[in-house]
Amino acid sequence: MLNHEFLTVNNPSAEWWRKAVIYQVYPRSFADADGDGIGDLKGITEKLGSLSDLGIDAIWFSPFFKSPQKDAGYDISDYRLIDPIFGTNEDFDVLLAKAKTLGIRIIVDIVPNHTSDQHAWFQAALASAPGSAERDYYHFRDGKGENGELPPNNWQSIFGGPAWSRITEANGELGQWYLHLFDSSQPDLNWENPKIADEFDDILRFWLDKGVDGFRVDVAHGMVKRAGLPDATIYDENLRERPISNLTMAEAEEAVPYWGQPGVHDAIRRFRRIIDEYDDRAMCAEASMSPLPRLAMWVRPDEYHQSFNFDYMHSKYEAAAIKKIVTDSIVEYGKVGASSTWVLSNHDGIRHATRLGIAPENTPRPGDGIHPSDPAPDEALGLRRARAATAFMLGLPGSSYLYQGEELGLPEAWQLEGKYRQDPTYARTNGDRIGRDGCRVPLPWVADATESNGFNSTGKSWLPQPANYRVFARNLQEGVVGSTLELYKRLLKVRKQFDLGAGAFSWVDDYDSETSLSYINNGVLVITNFSGGPIAMPAGELLVTTQHDLTVEGILEHDQTVWLKLS
> Which parts of this chain interact with ligand NOJ (CB under 6 A)?
71, 74, 111, 182, 218-219, 286, 347-348
Largest Cα span, the chain = 81
Q: Which amino acid is at 493?
A: K
Question: Catalytic residue among 32, 57, 218, 348, which?
Answer: 218
- Classify residue 101 by its DSSP letter: H
Q: Please identify the residue of the shown chain whose CB is closest to the bound ligand NOJ.
A: 74
* Cβ count near 250 (within 10 Å): 8
Q: Which of 77, 522 has the CB closer to ligand NOJ?
A: 77
Closest approach, Cβ 195 to ligand NOJ, in A, equals 21
277 catalytically annotated: yes
514 catalytically annotated: no
Are 286 and 277 in contact by the 8 Å Cβ rule? The answer is: no
- Classify residue 343 by its DSSP letter: E
* Cβ count near 246 (within 10 Å): 10
Strand order in the sheet with 524-529: 505-507, 516-521, 524-529, 560-566, 540-545
d(C-alpha 254, C-alpha 224), whole Å? 13
Q: Which amino acid is at 88?
A: T
Are 384 and 559 in contact by the 8 Å Cβ rule? The answer is: yes
d(C-alpha 517, C-alpha 184), whole Å? 45
Are 57 and 95 in contact by the 8 Å Cβ rule? The answer is: no
Q: Which of 163, 517 has the CB closer to ligand NOJ?
A: 163
Are 85 and 40 in contact by the 8 Å Cβ rule? The answer is: yes
What residue spans of 156-193 are helical by DSSP H?
none
Q: Which of 23, 563 has the CB closer to ligand NOJ?
A: 23
Q: Which of 328, 348 has the CB closer to ligand NOJ?
A: 348
Q: Which of 307, 483 has the CB closer to ligand NOJ?
A: 307
Closest approach, Cβ 270 to ligand NOJ, in A, equals 20
* Cβ count near 41 (within 10 Å): 27
- Which of 291, 338, 336 lies closest to 312 in space, CA to CA? 291
Closest approach, Cβ 189 to ligand NOJ, in A, equals 12
d(C-alpha 539, C-alpha 528), whole Å? 16
Closest approach, Cβ 258 to ligand NOJ, in A, equals 13
Task: Tally DSSP H helices, then E strands, for the chain.
Answer: 15, 20
Between the CA atoms of 153, 158, 164 and 169, what dihedral angle is there, to the nearest 10 degrees?
-160
Question: Catalytic residue among 277, 432, 448, 541, which?
Answer: 277
d(C-alpha 378, C-alpha 375), whole Å? 9
Q: Which of 74, 155 has the CB closer to ligand NOJ?
A: 74
Closest approach, Cβ 114 to ligand NOJ, in A, equals 7
Q: Which of 148, 367 has the CB closer to ligand NOJ?
A: 367
Active-site positions read 218, 277
